[in-house]
Amino acid sequence: MSIRTSRRCSGGGWAPEPEISDVRVIILGATSGIAEATARLYAKEGADLLLVGRQAERLAAIATDLKARGAISTQVAVTDLAATTDARQELAGFIERLGGVDHVLIAYGILGDQDQAWADPAEAARILTVNFNSAAAWILAIADRLERKGRGSLVVLGSVAGDRGRRANFVYGAAKAGLATLVEGVAHRFAGKGPRIVVVKPGPTVTAMTAGMVRKGPLWASAEQVALVVRRAADRGGPVAYAPWFWRYIMLIIRFLPAPIFNRLEI
């Protein structure tokens, strides 16, 4: 990791330059709205970025944009993260390409169709496989690597949907609940050691995933708002972060509502 602190002026002297940390970052699911917004924050800091996802053209476009925004280097890797059979081997290849890794963001997932998942076991399995099974494999692979390295951070995108099962999205919510428990367990293992792991739980966010919803009201956040929480979580804070912050208190109330009251709510 390098720090640049000065630059030569046109008059031949030296002038202060904002500190830029050359952080090596792997983003899994880099075409998601939140991931792209987070990558822009890293680019502004002068990071080296490896963008991983399925859409080659979209990844290439994002990489070009990030380079223009200040990233030291941008690379892409085209793969189906949910279909990976050996996350540890593939991760090793990503790290070798980047020359090491400091931060990792896991940002991929699907909302799925709750009504279809209720009627069709294949849809339920798809939601659970993408949002939990595959993500868990990547979490364990990355966590092992960071633990052996003795430093670095992993941020995982979860959801407030995992805090309490609701009729609208309980299959998706179950996957995110499992993901949060896994992250908290790894954070407990990391306690007193160098690495860190955080699950960031956004509330409703204006992204491609929510394109079919009515996205109005004060509880909706932009991808950029969530990205600020994600970037901060990589450096500091506890193992669970809500985005925006007020969802911590909203979900606290929802979790402790008595069932007779909760069951009357259309949420």
Catalytic residues: 172
Crossing angle of helices 33-45 and 223-233, rounded to 10°: 60
The answer to whether residues 204 and 220 touch, using CB atoms and an 8 Å cutoff, is: yes
* Helix residue ranges per DSSP H, 106-256: 114-119, 121-128, 135-149, 170-190, 223-233, 247-256
Q: How far is CA 77 from CA 30, 50, 72, 93, in A?
A: 10, 7, 17, 10
CB under 8 Å to 100, separation ≥6 — which residues? Answer: 24
Among 88, 85, 127, residue whose Cα is nearest residue 108 = 127
Before 195, cis peptide (omega within 30)? no
